[in-house]
């Protein structure tokens, strides 16, 4: 076997020395970078946790506001349903009160329907942010959030708002019937009956929205608990990871230093490694 040329051996040892120096520089840069990034990363993880908790708290507050708004609308419709039931029963024998009934339906009930539609429309816009937030959180693997609703809350509220708006034409028709024909008691009774049915359907829809809101609140509570635990411990995990990276870089630096010294020794003595 042919013996390696001395110049070739020297070139090889020189390359090893250069690679060791590069490795030392990279290890030093890694250690320095980990050390420099440790505190900013800890602060960033802490701020991220605080920001997420504030977002969840704001979302939960919006959900509570929607719940209160729906409760107010449902209470108004309870009163309206009670009034309609009484009117439907007694309208045939209460012809003198038809004008008062026209004022009740044309003014008070229209105002309730308009207010309810506006409230539900506003609640729908607010719930769109809640849906978006929960969908965003569902994409974070660490949260283990399974959020795939059959019907998003904002769509349910939009449908309710649409139902509210559709009451206005019927209320106007009833008012016109009352003003034009106080004697047409039978027709009026039918219209009031239709209005009572639609009111009952809307009340049922409002009642169905209740469990959905409770489910949303439960999901948000679970997410808040999970994220609070996660981000409370996250700065510690980041600190441990950075320290481990620093020790690894120091180990790599020392290993390359040993190789460098061996390479320099080999260059001086001319020995083959």
Selected residue with higher pLDDT from 87 and 247: 247
| 135-149 tens-digit pLDDT | 777 777 666 666 666
| Percent of residues, the chain, with pLDDT higher than 90 | 0
pLDDT over 80 at 254, yes or no? yes
Alpha-helix residue ranges (DSSP H) falling in the chain: 6-90, 98-103, 110-138, 153-165, 167-180, 185-269
| Percent of residues, the chain, with pLDDT higher than 70 | 79
Phi, psi values for residue 230, rounded to 5°: -65, -50
Q: What is the mean pLDDT of the chain?
A: 75
pLDDT over 50 at 100, yes or no? yes
* Number of neighbouring beta carbons within 10 Å of residue 181: 12
| 158-215 tens-digit pLDDT | 777 777 777 777 777 777 776 666 666 667 677 777 877 787 777 777 777 777 777 7
Confidence at 272, pLDDT banded by 50, 70, 90: very low
* Tokens representing residue 170 in the block: 């019927």
Burial classification of residue 200, based on how many CB atoms lie within 10 Å of its CB (0-12 exposed, 13-18 middle, 19 or more buried): middle
| 3-42 tens-digit pLDDT | 456 666 667 777 777 888 888 888 888 888 888 888 888 8
Confidence (pLDDT) at 241:
85
Confidence (pLDDT) at 273:
45
CA distance 220 to 138: 11
pLDDT over 80 at 43, yes or no? yes
- For 25-40, give one letter per residue: b (16+ CB within 10 A) or e: eebeebbeebeeebee
pLDDT over 60 at 2, yes or no? no
CA distance 122 to 66: 9
Cβ(223)–Cβ(143) below 8 Å: yes
């Amino acid at each position: 076997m042919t013996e390696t040329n001395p110049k070739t051996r020297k070139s090889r040892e020189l390359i090893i020395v250069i690679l060791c120096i590069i490795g030392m520089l990279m290890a030093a840069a890694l250690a320095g970078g980990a050390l420099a990034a440790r505190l900013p990363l800890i602060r960033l993880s802490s701020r991220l946790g605080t920001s997420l908790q504030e977002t969840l708290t704001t979302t939960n507050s919006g959900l509570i506001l929607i719940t209160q708004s729906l409760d107010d609308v449902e209470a108004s419709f309870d009163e309206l349903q009670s009034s309609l039931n009484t009117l439907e029963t007694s309208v045939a024998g209460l012809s003198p009160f038809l004008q008062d009934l026209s004022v009740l339906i044309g003014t008070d009930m229209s105002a309730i329907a308009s207010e309810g539609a506006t409230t539900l429309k506003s609640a729908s816009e607010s719930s769109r942010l809640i849906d978006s937030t929960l969908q965003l959180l569902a994409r974070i693997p660490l949260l283990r959030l399974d959020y795939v609703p059959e019907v998003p809350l904002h769509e349910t509220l939009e449908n309710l708002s649409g139902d509210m708006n559709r009451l206005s034409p019927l209320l106007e028709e009833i008012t016109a019937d009352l003003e034009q024909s106080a004697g047409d008691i039978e027709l009026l009774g039918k219209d009031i009956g239709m209005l009572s049915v639609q009111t009952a359907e809307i009340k049922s829809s409002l009642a169905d929205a209740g469990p959905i809101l409770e489910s949303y609140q439960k999901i948000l509570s679970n997410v808040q608990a999970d994220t609070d635990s996660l981000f409370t411990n996250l700065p510690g995990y980041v600190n441990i990871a950075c320290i481990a990276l620093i020790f690894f870089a120091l180990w790599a630096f020392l290993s390359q230093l040993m190789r460098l010294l061996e390479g320099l020794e080999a260059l001086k003595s001319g020995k083959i490694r």
